[in-house]
Amino acid sequence: MTDTKAIPCSEAVRQLWDYLDHAIPPEDQEKVEKHLSFCRSCCGELEFAKEMRAFLATSTAQEIPPHVKERLERFVERL
Ligand SMILES: [Zn+2]
């Protein structure tokens, strides 16, 4: 029996980038998805992450800019 109980915001945000990269197992992917379906604050962060990814895809930068990482870290700290 698979227990798909909700994960906390901190975990969802930490997995956000890997989630967008599909770098996490399907069951984790599902957990993040589930969390985002009901959590408004993380949804805002997801939109931000998506935009950043789109930006990165069109730029030559390979890494997440430090200020973006910082923003995500600060978001997690506020939780
Ligand atoms: Zn959340």
How close is the Cα of 47 to the center of ligand 1, in Å? Answer: 13
CB 13, CB 42: distance < 8 Å? yes
**The pLDDT of residue 61:** 63
Is 2 contained in some domain?
no
Q: What is the pTM of this model?
A: 0.68
DSSP 79: -
- Does residue 1 register a pLDDT over 50? no
Model confidence over 21-79: pLDDT tens digits?
A: 899 999 999 999 999 999 988 988 888 888 888 887 887 766 767 887 788 778 778 77
Q: Does the residue 1 lie in any domain?
A: no
What is the chain's Cα-based Rg?
Answer: 13
pLDDT value for 12:
92
Q: From ligand 1's centre to the CA of 12, what distance in Å?
A: 6
Tokens of 31: 């957990």
Q: Name the residue range of residue 39's domain.
A: 9-78
Whether residue 29 is contained in a domain is answered as yes
57: CA distance to ligand 1 center in Å? 25
* Ligand 1 centroid, distance to 61 Cα (angstroms): 28
Q: How many domains in the chain?
A: 1
C-alpha of residue 30 to centroid of ligand 1, in Å: 14
Q: How far is CA 3 from CA 10, 14, 27, 75, in A?
A: 19, 20, 10, 27
> Residue 13 pLDDT > 80, yes or no?
yes
